[in-house]
Amino acid sequence: MTALKIYNTLARDKQAFSPIEPGKVRMYVCGMTVYDYCHLGHARVMVVFDMVQRWLRASGYEVTYVRNITDIDDKIIKRAVENGETISQLTTRFIAAMDQDAAALGVQKPDHEPRATAYVPQMLGLIGQLEQNGLAYKAADGDVNYSVRDFPGYGKLSGKSLDDLRAGERVDVNTGKRDPLDFVLWKAAKDTEPEEVKWSSPWGSGRPGWHIECSAMSCELLGEQFDIHGGGADLQFPHHENEIAQSEGAHGGHFVNYWMHNGFIRVDNEKMSKSLGNFFTIREVLQTYDAEVVRFFILRAHYRSPLNYSDAHLDDARGALTRLYTALKEVAPDGAALDREEAHARRFADALNDDFNTPLAISVLFELANEANKTKSAMLARQLKALAGVIGLLEREPQQFLHGAPGSGDAATGAAQEAILAQIEERIAARAAAKKARNFAEADRLRAELLAEGIVLEDKPGGTTEWRRA
């Protein structure tokens, strides 16, 4: 089995993974800003780094996985004020919704899920250290800013020079800043803002800037230097660039060894975004598609590549996942433990050790499914189920997936679903009775009716005892 290699954004190359502490991995991933329902871009971050931490643990590492929650932010304040509710009411509601979405997608809870509002003292300490090191200053407008030109390494993650950044249009010009590139560490309180977003500080009442939150939380929970920092590609600049400037500017030394960034979700070859109106929340998609289909759709693309969203692609993912579950329905696994030395298992591991190449790993699952179907080997079926389980797939009973209603996900239980299943079974029985009475027209009608509803009957010599969703 090959050793793990990770594409390090900082090095712009795949590098052999060597943790700071042998056998242990400390990983931080930027989480959600909780003012609205999570969208498919959030789903990709959650699923990708869930897969990463699963594989690290399966490889024998002791993992400490931190994914933060941003529960104080301009957008949160604006939305709460618009809704006429408190910040905590808004964020509590959307954290609960985020947890529901993540659980549906098979995303395991991180070891730590810090909320920014609980770490303001650590943020103040970090800002104070930056001020002491000559990298932070209080502006005339009351904000405390980071002096970018006083940190020599600024731009090393994004690969941009200060002059290139200075010429860019994305940096807001603020008259309180010494340089337009400088970013805010502490925002002075405004009279119009709710009292619950105002904290006391040596620089006056205010609240933290976004970037300082992650530097403070990661340092507190993982230390001044840790192994892996992940997030979406949109965070590479300025958020992660600013994290490096803050953390290394305050503590000296090296902040993170491996930076990982997942690619964008695209719709019609454009980045999915609210501004373009091509925006889909996770729960909207789960109304139509099983949650495991969405997880499979995300994992069968390489995490660094763009992921093109469309109903056609999700339909294709549903069909592919159905083939895998059908193989397990036809050949029951033997129940033994995963054989890591078996040829398919070794190829699966080699794929994931090559920068988490899930498309190649999933192709191994299809090889196993095909061979299990041909040979009726319970050992191969076991390898299929066990390897898929490593990345959070094929963990249900085959019939549960194959009989599940579209969009039902793991919530396909309860009286409503039971009633739907009972109705399907009644019509299958009625068709069997019609065939026995040689009323083939009625039997064909019932088959066509079920097919129109997405129910595929599987006729066998003993009669129709099996069915699945199309």
The better pLDDT of the pair 2, 55 is held by 55
Question: Are 111 and 31 part of one and the same domain?
Answer: yes
Q: Give bridge partners of residue 186 from the DSSP assignment.
A: 144, 208
208 lies in the same domain as 254: yes
User: Is residue 198 situated within a structural domain?
Assistant: yes
More confidently predicted of 139 and 462: 139
**What is the mean pLDDT of the segment spanning 304-312?**
94
pTM here is: 0.89
Q: Is residue 386 part of a domain?
A: yes
Residues 154 and 79 in one domain: yes
| Pairing, β 144-146 against β 136-138 | antiparallel
Annotated binding site for Zn(2+): 30, 214, 239, 243
pLDDT at 169 over 50: no
**Of the ranges 48-57, 321-330, 409-418, which one carries the lowest mean pLDDT score?**
409-418
Residue 194 lies in a domain: yes
Q: Measured between alpha carbons, how far is residue 22 from residues 18, 185, 224, 320 in Å?
A: 8, 34, 17, 38
d(CA 340, CA 354): 17
Mean pLDDT of 82-99: 97
Tell me, what's the pLDDT at 277? 73
Give a yes or no: residue 8 inside a domain. Answer: no
The pLDDT assigned to 412 comes to 43
Helix (H) or strand (E) holding 460: strand 455-460
CATH code for the domain of 155: 3.40.50.620
| pLDDT 10s digits, 124-145 | 999 999 999 999 999 999 999 9
CA-CA distance, 118 to 95, in Å (whole number)?
15
pLDDT score, position 439: 78
Q: For residue 74, is it within any domain?
A: yes
Residues 396 and 420 in one domain: no
Q: Looking at residue 170, what is its pLDDT?
A: 46
Percent of the chain with pLDDT strictly greater than 90 = 77
Domain residue limits at 457: 414-469
Nearest to 470 by CA among 367, 318, 332: 318
**Claim to verify: residue 330 and residue 255 sit in the same structural domain:** no
pLDDT at position 403: 86
Residue 386 has pLDDT above 60, yes or no: yes
Higher per-residue pLDDT: 439 or 323:
323
**Residue 427: pLDDT band by 50, 70, 90 thresholds?**
confident
Residue that has been written with the tokens 């990298």 in this structure:
135
Decide which of 267, 293, 328 is a domain's last residue: 267
For residues 386 and 345, give the distance between their C-alpha atoms in angstroms, rounded to a whole number.
9
Of 215, 245, 267, the residue that ends a domain is 267
Quick check: 171 pLDDT over 70? no
Q: Is residue 282 in some structural domain?
A: no
One domain for residues 254 and 372: no
- Check whether residue 316 and residue 443 sit in a common domain: no
Same-domain status, 172 and 316? no
Q: Are 221 and 114 in contact (CB under 8 A)?
A: yes
Q: In the predicted model, what is the mean pLDDT of the chain? A: 90
pLDDT band of 176, cuts 50, 70, 90: confident
Q: Encode pLDDT of 264-282 as tens digits.
A: 999 877 777 777 777 799 9
Q: Where are the beta strands (DSSP E) in 310-406?
A: none
Annotated binding site: 30, 214, 239, 243, 274
Q: Out of 234, 249, 267, pick the residue that ends a domain.
A: 267
Residues 209 and 326 in one domain: no
Q: Say whether pLDDT at 123 is over 70.
A: yes
Show binding-site residues for ATP: 274
Regarding whether 348 and 204 lie in a shared domain, the answer is no
Q: How far is the CA of 330 from the CAs of 175, 324, 333, 384, in angstroms?
A: 69, 10, 10, 13
Which secondary-structure segment (H or E) carries 144? strand 144-146
Residue 153 within any structural domain of the chain: yes
348 exposure class (CB count in 10 Å sphere: 0-12, 13-18, 19+): buried
- Sheet harboring 24-29: ordered strands across? 62-67, 24-29, 226-232, 256-262
Give me the phi and psi of 129, to 5 degrees please: -65, -40
Residue 409 predicted with pLDDT over 50? no
Could you give the CA distance from residue 432 to residue 172 in angstroms, rounded to a whole number? 71
For 468, the enclosing helix (H) or strand (E) is strand 463-469
pLDDT in tens, 222-267: 999 999 999 999 999 999 999 999 999 999 999 999 999 999 999 8
The residues, any chain, with a CB within 8 Å of residue 277's CB and separated by 6 or more, are none
Instruction: Clarify whether residues 237 and 322 are in a common domain.
Output: no
390-418: b (≥16 Cβ within 10 Å) or e: bbbbbebebeebbbbebbbbbebeeeeee
Q: Is residue 289 part of a domain?
A: no
CATH number of the domain that 343 lies in? 1.20.120.640
pLDDT at position 173 is 52
Q: How many domains does the chain have?
A: 3
- Decide if 49 contacts 248 (C-beta within 8 A): no
Residues 191 and 145 in one domain: yes
3-state secondary structure of 261: strand
DSSP 268: T
